[in-house]
Structure 1
Amino acid sequence: MLKYSKKLVISLSLVILSGCSMIPGSHMEGIDVDPETSTLEQDLSKVKISIIDSALIARLKDSQQVGLKAKKYTPIITEGYDYVLGIGDVLSIGVWDHPELTIPAAVQRTAEFDGFRIQTDGTITYAYAANIPAAGKTISQLHKVLVAKLSQVIEKPQLDLKVVAFRSQRTYVTGEVKRPGALPITEIPLTLIDAINQAGGLSERADWRTVIFTSGEQTEIIRLDDFYTKGDLSQNRLLKHGDIIHVNRSDNQKVFVLGDVRKAGSIEINRYGLSLAEALSDVGGLNDATADANGIFVLRKRPANDEGIIADVYQLHAQNIVALVLADQFKLQPRDIIYVTTAPIARWNRLISQLVPTLQGLENISTLKTQGAFF
């Protein structure tokens, strides 16, 4: 059966490359064996074909859990997080029992004056403490410097220091979120999931499975769906200045259903996933009179691997009632191709239906000749 399936897969691939229509009932021209098709057959010898049964379903589930078990309980490290001051941050500084030091002399509190801003050179100027380096320091580090300076003129100063405006550091959320834009980095640790939530969450057209995360010169794919549905904490990230989170559209989250079905086309995978049974149902099911229920194939490209396998092909024997349950358990992946073959008797009937008009035409010509219509 697997040998027959591989021959069928090779034939299907040759049909695709030849540009022949895959719409049921359309005419397919013959394919001559040439170097190109010969090379294709060699490539398809690297295709791995499996029957969709209970053992395969269990194996696929296990393979998904292997990586998850290794990093499911790896939490993002936020302990010990301390905000680092930067240029543009605004500070509020007060000294107990010295209200005159809360606002510099000759400065009247107005809407424009909201605190002490860290200047472009990274310093702040405070009473008895001019040009104090602040950028690059934590609040506790700057607090110690100011206390040391004020101790020269005030006995045991009680200093209150806090950030009232975080303006030096930003992270960016772009793409398919409800409120894309910049988010400030504050003294509260900001994670990737927090940033998406603060941006209003994902939009209806968002790709719920993955987001692109760029930090410095490194870009990686974050499996957002694993975080939400499987509790994989390793997919979260602690953000820092300049990090970018981009949420793609879900346009490429599709599978393609071709062959002997009622309505061939593409189907979008939503955030809850899509099974083989659901995909076949969405296209109206198989053509009862012509489709081969044992010829349902799922073609899936495999990432680069040491085995040299370029694709996996899964075959469903839908004539078996149990297979319908397995079809509902078989989860599709984006860009999967589902192809339903035509039953041999239906292919024969189509061939005959194409030949009959030709034979009738020849018979009519022969009759006319007999009757003397042609000289």
Structure 2
Amino acid sequence: MKSLVKNKLLIAFLPFVIAGCAVPGSHLTVDDDATSNQNIEQKVNILPITPQTISQYKPADLYSTANPALELDIQKYEYRVGVGDVLNITIWDHPELTIPAGSYRSSAESGNWVHSDGTIFYPYIGVVKVAGKSVREIRADIAKRLSQFIEAPQVDVNLASFRSQKVYVTGEVTNSGVLPVTNIPMTLLDAVNQSGGITDDAAWHEISLTRNGMTENISLYGLMQKGDLTQNRLMQQGDILHIPRNDDQKVFVLGEVNEPKMLKIDRVGMSLTEALAGVGGINEYQADATGVFVIRSQYDSNEGTIADVYQLDVTEATALALGTEFDLQPYDIVYVTAAPLSRWNRVMLQLMPTITGFNQLAQGIERTNNIYSDN
């Protein structure tokens, strides 16, 4: 009788033990009850991925686009002489004013160096201000001043060496370094090609162009792969073009998938379906097919939100076609949540040692009672 009572007490006590146990492992749900308890709806934006909403999440498509403004800038381009440049000045029919007789030096060596004050010295006319002027303006100035000494002077001015203006190409190119700005206009695409092109580790979706303290993000992918010439720029003195590594081009696939791991986004990007395929797909026995989530950090202190959570229901495998249209971004977290039965199995797996212990305790009590009753 005592054994029966104690066993009943143990059985009655078991639900309280189960109720007090937390479900092991992680889980994600957007059910109303769960979100209201944890105030998730106030901190994240739940966005379903459906045929009606998928177009809202896609970035703007890049197309082959002309850039008439750039073409006009190239047509009007004119190099301006700066400090350190070397000018080659020729006065026709007056060799004494050009390279001295008997000299075998190059034009760069024997030319007129632009001094730190932006001037050069020339015979007869003395100091000439050349910095900031084009060769046409310098030619006209010298010809006008020489006309006082030479009848109708025929003057030719060109650059023997371009040394005053530079652009800098850094990061994931074959030959990073300094490129001179010359009388031939150089675009951003020219700068990349002159540096040997990008490497395999280049993150060409987000290169940066820094000019006068302002940084602009440019898609080299759009420019080179899609022919979007609006991404091209005319390079100017002091520009810094940086092509970063793709080290931060990664996403994390976790939860009920066959091989949770980090994946690196390749040059052409990665879709949600590609990410799932890259980890062997979802675990068909434990995953909740309605709960494929993409968690994207979107901290906004004004609105109190911490993330956007996109939800894809792949109960029907055809929904994976929607996943091919959803592009992942760096540091996205793809999380496949567990099915309710899987969560219950976790609880039971955690409780089994305790239940076994209760059974052994009950059996021990029963044997003890039998011994006393026999005596």
Deviation at 1:296, TM superposition (A): 0.3
Deviation at 1:46, TM superposition (A): 4.9
Deviation at 1:209, TM superposition (A): 0.7
1:266 aligns with one of 238, 255, 262: 262
Residues 313-332 of structure 1: per-residue CA shift (max 9 Å, x gap)? 22111121220211122211
Cα distance, 1:305–1:53 mapped onto 2, change above 3 Å: farther
Match of 1:33 in 2: none
SS in 2 for 1:368: helix
Unpaired runs of at least 5, structure 1: 1-19, 21-25, 31-36
Deviation at 1:72, TM superposition (A): 6.9
Match of 1:108 in 2: 103
> Equivalents in 1 of 2:299, 2:76: separation in Å?
39
Match of 1:364 in 2: 360
Deviation at 1:126, TM superposition (A): 2.2
> 2:48 matched to 1:51?
yes
2:105 maps to amino acid: T
Match of 1:151 in 2: 147
> Equivalents in 2 of 1:42, 1:143: separation in Å?
75
> Equivalents in 2 of 1:125, 1:265: separation in Å?
68
Residues 328-362 of structure 1: per-residue CA shift (max 9 Å, x gap)? 22211112111100111111122222212221122
Matched-pair identity in %: 43
Deviation at 1:372, TM superposition (A): 4.4
Residues 186-231 of structure 1: per-residue CA shift (max 9 Å, x gap)? 1112222221221112222211111122111222222333333444
> Equivalents in 2 of 1:293, 1:29: separation in Å?
16
2:355 maps to amino acid: L
| Aligned alpha-carbon RMSD (Å) | 3.1
2:44 maps to amino acid: V
2:280 aligns with one of 284, 303, 311: 284
Match of 2:231 in 1: 235
TM-score, normalization: structure 1?
Answer: 0.81
Match of 2:94 in 1: 98
2:223 maps to amino acid: F
SS in 2 for 1:324: helix
Match of 1:17 in 2: none
Deviation at 1:104, TM superposition (A): 4.1
> Equivalents in 2 of 1:227, 1:346: separation in Å?
48
2:336 aligns with one of 315, 340, 349: 340
Deviation at 1:256, TM superposition (A): 1.1
TM-score, normalization: structure 2?
Answer: 0.81
> Equivalents in 1 of 2:177, 2:67: separation in Å?
31
Deviation at 1:132, TM superposition (A): 1.0
> 2:295 matched to 1:299?
yes
Match of 1:126 in 2: 122
SS in 2 for 1:329: coil
> Equivalents in 2 of 1:193, 1:366: separation in Å?
80
Deviation at 1:240, TM superposition (A): 1.6
Deviation at 1:306, TM superposition (A): 8.8
Unpaired runs of at least 5, structure 2: 1-21, 28-33
Cα distance, 1:44–1:203 mapped onto 2, change above 3 Å: farther
CA contact (8 A) 1:104 1:126 kept: no
Where do 1:197-216 residues align within 5 Å? 197-216=193-212
Residues 1-21 of structure 1: per-residue CA shift (max 9 Å, x gap)? xxxxxxxxxxxxxxxxxxx9x
Residues 110-153 of structure 1: per-residue CA shift (max 9 Å, x gap)? 25724221122211122323211111111111001111122222
Residues 146-179 of structure 1: per-residue CA shift (max 9 Å, x gap)? 1112222222122221102100011111122211
Deviation at 1:370, TM superposition (A): 3.5
